[in-house]
Structure formats: C-alpha cells, structure tokens
Structure 1
Amino acid sequence: MPYSLVINFVPRSPLLKTHLNGRNFHALFLDLVSSVDKDLGTQLHQQQSEKAFTLSPVQIRLNRKLMQWSYHRAIAPGTPCWWRITLLDDSLFGKLAHLWLNINRTEPWQLGSAELDIISILSNPQSQQPWANFISYTRLYEQALDGTDSQTSQQARKINFRFCTPTTFRKTQYDVSLPDRDLIFRSLLKRWNQYSEIPLEFTETIFEPIYPSFFDIRTEMVSDKRSKFIGCVGEMSFSILGDVNAQIIKQINTLADFSFYAGIGRKTPMGMGQVSRY
C-alpha cells in the first residue's frame, strides 16, 4: 500500500542553506527509521538499488504547483515547516508504524547540525494539505480510468503531469533532464512491478499510443557540496491516441496515478522527481 506522509515540524535553531539538501533529508529519514529499527536503518542506508521511499525537500508554505527545492537564506527558528515521505512497500510501513504512533516529541531531531521538533505526522488527506494520502495498490488499479465510461472517456485519454521538483532520468551512462514518454512510464512501470501485488505485463507496444500534447517546462539545478543535477520542472501533458484496448488505457492511467507516490526519475530519495497529476 503506498503511503504519502507529511511531517510537520518546527526548527529550534536556524536551518541554514547548507542543511537543506537531499543528503541531509535522507540522513534525517534514516535517523527516524533507526530510532525504531536500527537494523532496518542500516539496511536502507546500505541499499544501492531501487529504494522503496521518496522524500521531498523541506517546505515552509503550500504551493499547489511547485515545491521549494532551493533557499536563498536560512529558515528561522520557530518557522512552521513540513516535509513529505512516501513509502511504496507495505512491509516498510508496517515496520515503521511504531514510529508514526509514538514519535518522540520531547527530544529534538537533527537536520544537518540544526535541531527540530516534530509536531505531527499526517497520513490522511487534508483540505489544506493535499500531499498526505494513502491507498492500496488494488484500489489504485481498480479506480484507474479505462475509457469505457462515456462521461470520463476523454479524461481517461489525457495524462497531465506536474513536475514539482527538478526531475531527471538516467539514459545509458548519462542524466537526461528532458522527459519523454518512455522515460516517464518505464520509470513508473518498474516501480509498480517491484512493489505492487498486481504486476502489469510489459510489452514494447504498451506505451506506443501515448503522445505529448502540451509542455511548459524549464530546467533547474539541484546542488549540494558534492554534486549537481539538472532537472526539469513545470507541466507536461500526454494524450492516448488511436484505437486502444481499454485494458491498456487502464494500465497507463494506473501508472499515472501511481506517480503521486512513486515520483518519477532519479534521486527521488533525495528530493527530486516529486510529481502530481492534475
């Protein structure tokens, strides 16, 4: 069952620009995991392959179109902040259930060298916090549109993505910041088949009916002391064209809906590839 959790916190000391990068987000997540399961924290730290979670950058306000991924100044102590974690593996959520229910709110947590107090963890959708949610893989598949309903047939053939943090892809030996149909949907298919109990059959023709119909994207850079990545942010739409089997339409929509939890592309455990479907 994919989960999207929103952690609300308040820093005790200034969150410097140097604290607000993917490596520190990743380290804080591992600290949270290790607080309830040290072996699991070590296992996730050593994991080199596809990871069963994504992390957003720290946010100080809600922007429904884009997240903030770079900061020009420190975040002052006492500023309400939020941070998003998605979990793709049922067993991972189960192992961490104790953390969500019994989070230590008396001792500070560390983000870089800064201390912070965790106020709450949201898992249910909120009117003022649309990034929190959860759904089973079965339900995600069942509710995906297949184009057979006349009232939603056009909607079923339109896939609108919003790249809310810089999104990049690995192609051969290099990173590519220009998304295309295959890069996006292959990324989603790989994660879906790895974590869901409803594997989708892959064929070379499954994505052929998908064509770009609109894009308003630009490149942005994500950097820390060790590395720099160029990714795209903005909006991109695809249309499903031609005489397409309802099952194929359903599978494509399943993957598009799944993007909210799985993210798209590389470095999703470091704050990149946060995506919404609109």
Structure 2
Amino acid sequence: MTVFSRAQLSLHPLQPSRQGPHWSGVPARAWFLDMTRAASPEIFARITADNQPACYTVSPLQKPAVADPAAFTLAFTTLDDDLTDLWATRILPVLPGAGITLGEKSYGVVTVETETTTDADLIQQHTLSAELPQRGLTLRFRTPVTFHSGGSQFPFPTPDLVFGGLLDRWNSLCDIQLHPDTRTFARECIRISRYRMESRRVDTGDSPYGVLTGGTGDCRYVVWRGDEYWQRVVHALAAFSRFAGVGARTSIGMGQVEVLPERG
C-alpha cells in the first residue's frame, strides 16, 4: 500500500508585495526541497536522484476565493511513504505561525490543511464499488498542463496523454499495479466531448526550465465504448490526478488538476 498526501498552506505576506513576472512554482519547489533536505538528507538524496520517479508535486502561489486580497495558498503533495511520513511528523506540525521564504519574498503560514489517501483506497472506491461508473468525467486544469510529445511541448490534454501518463506515474510509484492496456483503452475508447481551455505562457525566469506553454481550463472526457472495468480504472486514475498532477513539470506547479462533479 502506498500513501498519498496533499497539504495546503494558507499564507499571508510578511511585507507588502505583489507577485513578480516569473512563475512562483520554481521558488516554491526550492523551498519544499530545502525543507526536505534539512529534515532528512537521506530522503532528499533519494527523491532527487536521476533515476527516481517524480514522487511529489508543488503548486505555484495561488489566490484563494476569500475576501482577504493579500492571502495566498501553496499546495504540495507527496507520493512516497517515507517522504509523506517525514512531512507529516517533522515538518507540517511546526509550520503554522512560522515564516517561509519563497525566492525574495517572505510569508507567514496561517493554517495547514491536509488530506491523505492510498492506492488501495482509490482501487476500493473506484474499481470495487457496487455503483456503476459514469461514462463522463471532467478535469479542470487549474495550472497550465503540458506534455513531452514527439520531442516538443504539447499543451493539450488528449485522453491518451492524460490517462496514459497517470498510468505510468501510478505504476512507477504504487504497490498495486494497474494493467498496461489502460493506455490502449484511453487512446481507443475515450473521446473529448467538450472543452473550454486557453493557452498560457509560463516564464520560469533564470531557471533551467525556460519558457513553457500550457493549457488551462476544463476538458470533459467520455468513454464511448469498452468494458466497465476499464471505465473504473480511468476514474481511479482521475482521482489519483489530484495528488500526482498531470503532464510534465508537476514539480514546479504545472498540471494541477481537480475532478469536477458531473452534471445531472
């Protein structure tokens, strides 16, 4: 069983400031890794090794839907048992009331909210439930999503790229493995029924990531043929996307996604 955790920090600037022109996911990732290294150099070395699958995501600073115009949120996920335990027991408990620095800006941590699930929970909920799976699901890409395809960036979430990528990430991280034919099912049996998306330029400043292009907005996918089992696996992967992100550069805040409830 593999544990997935998501934490969201509510932040308030410690001095008057506004967001700069560059993507805040880069300094947010640096802060996350600095905190991990300070708490456990061994875990830091392992999760940043060249052959290690991506086992965390970090969001950019975002404006919450609250009245306070100065407030921000910062979210991150962990998809590795040791990393999840490290943050849950040694780092998150001391963050409320503390200050953090992202690049050249400092923020006070007001609150920390967490949620946790496991691969076994998602399999139980989505593939073993007595309830019939819905044929449609809608993903909202809250930050730009892009994919590495054919040696270049591809900023549109086609079914095979979305669910094939989630399948790869699941099987690289989880104890419970999903069938590799899920990718074929996504390519041949899922269609996009509607979307409302726009392209967005992501300038990461002097970082090695350069300038990226991604798509934000809503995309609805429909299973138009195929066995019920595969529909269930797709819904499990969609739920996993909240923790794993979708596409490339999820460690700097791209591909942050949520599943929207189906209408009717």
Q: Shorter-chain TM-score: what band?
A: 0.7 to 0.9
Question: What are the within-5 Å matches in structure 2 for residues 27-176 of structure 1?
Answer: 27-47=30-50, 49-62=52-65, 79-96=70-87, 97-103=89-95, 105-106=97-98, 108-123=99-114, 133-144=115-126, 149=131, 152-153=132-133, 156-176=134-154
Aligned match for 1:202, one of 156, 170, 180: 180
Whole-Å separation in 1 of the counterparts to 2:38 and 2:22: 21
Out of 200, 212, 217, the position equivalent to 2:192 is 212
Q: Per-residue CA shift, 1:17-69, capped at 9, x if unaligned?
A: 15752221111111221232133334445546532111111123239xxxxxx
Question: Separation in 1 of the partners of 2:39 and 2:96?
Answer: 11
Q: SS at 2:163's partner residue?
A: helix
The residue identity in structure 1 corresponding to 2:138 is: N
Q: Give deviations 1:206-234, integer Å, cap 9, x for gaps.
A: 32211111111111111122311111111
Using the TM superposition, name which of 193-202 and 31-40 deviates more. Answer: 31-40
> Does the aligned pair in 1 maintain the 2:22–2:202 contact within 8 Å?
no
Unaligned 5+ segments in structure 1 are: 64-75, 124-132
Matched AA of 2:71: P
Higher strand share: 2
Q: State the percentage of identical aligned residues.
A: 23
TM-score normalised by L of structure 2: 0.85
Aligned match of 2:216: 233
Measured after TM superposition, the shift of residue 253 of structure 1 is 1.1
Aligned length: 250
For residues 135 and 93 of structure 1, what CA distance do their matches in structure 2 show?
Answer: 11
Asked if the contact 2:143/2:253 (under 8 Å) is kept, the reply is yes
Q: 1:159 to 1:93 in 2, by over 3 A?
A: same
Q: Secondary structure at the match of 1:144?
A: helix
Partner of 1:271: 253
Structure 1: distance between partners of 2:22 and 2:31: 11
1:4·1:87 contact (CA, 8 Å) conserved in 2?
yes
* 5+ residue gaps, structure 2: none
Offset at 1:261? 1.1
1:252 and 1:5 map into 2 onto residues whose CA distance is 24
Provide TM-score, normalisation by structure 1.
0.81
Query: How far does residue 16 in structure 1 lie from its aligned partner after superposition?
Result: 4.4
Q: Distance in 1 between matches of 2:46 and 2:83?
A: 12
